[in-house]
A = this chain, B = another copy of it.
Amino acid sequence: MNDVLVVDDDPHLLKALKITLHAHGYSVVTAPDGESALRSAAQHPFGVIVLDLGLPDMDGTAVITRLRQWSRVPILVLSARHGSDDKVKALDAGADDYVTKPFGLDELLARLRAVQRRTIQGEEAPVVTTASFTVDLALRRVTRNGQDVRLTPTEWGILELLVRNPEKLVTQQQLLTEIWGAAYTKEANYLRVYMAQLRRKLEPEPGTPRHFLTETGIGYRFQP
């Protein structure tokens, strides 16, 4: 879990952080705005997310709120502002810690370690088991009858979002915006195709699903 997602609209800072973090053993992915950050986070599990509050497309706290709907990944917030208002808002939304720009790299690295240490301890095993398959969210692996099941990235995204909200009705809008982005809210077609594939790979009887239930006109529900 040394994968870090860095979200900032300043390409120079992005590049500098990428180099520095890489030198300290982190594997770094970057995103320039909130949309792509959310998409990246949905498609790949990160050990920590470094998030600048001043993004071009959406408010930083909105990104945190959306992330927290399905993920508990530690979030370290960057902000240029000194006022404590947005700091409080970000922490309320679910951020774990806060660094004010300009910051020393030592401080950033220290807080990164602290944030990860804190969450590793308190974390329970993110493994979900049903009658017919098992999902290991940390290892990003699905097994069925002892066999690994191959899933495409998109299939993973959908499965992960549903499994992280067990029994909860996830709307088509939520799925489409989290996986494909806000511009795809009309493409309910995609969902039908991928839900069919997920069921074919995971359900004992794809024709009469037990774990991936359809709520017509609204969305889908995962039943462990």
Contact = CB atoms under 8 A, between A and B. Distances in A.
Interface of A: 138-141, 152-153, 156, 167-169, 215-218, 221
A134 B169 CA distance: 16
B167 A139 contact: yes
Nearest to A138: B168
B217 A169 contact: no
A28 to B, nearest CB: 36
Contacts of A152: 216-217
Contacts of A156: 218
Count of this chain's copies in the oligomeric assembly: 2
Contacts of A216: 152-153
A169 B140 contact: yes
Nearest to A170: B140
Contacts of A215: 140
B139 A217 contact: no
The list of the 6 closest CB pairs from A to B, nearest first, reads A140-B169, A153-B217, A139-B168, A153-B218, A139-B167, A139-B169
A153 B141 CA distance: 29
A167 B217 CA distance: 29
Contacts of A139: 167-169
Contacts of A218: 140, 153, 156
A153 B219 CA distance: 10
B141 A169 contact: yes
A47 B189 CA distance: 51
Contact of A141 (B138, B140, B141, B167): B167
B153 A140 contact: no
Contacts of A169: 139-141
User: Which of A140, A153, A168 has most B Cβ within 10 Å?
Assistant: A140
17 contacts: A138-B168, A139-B167, A139-B168, A139-B169, A140-B168, A140-B169, A140-B215, A140-B218, A141-B167, A141-B169, A141-B221, A152-B216, A152-B217, A153-B216, A153-B217, A153-B218, A156-B218
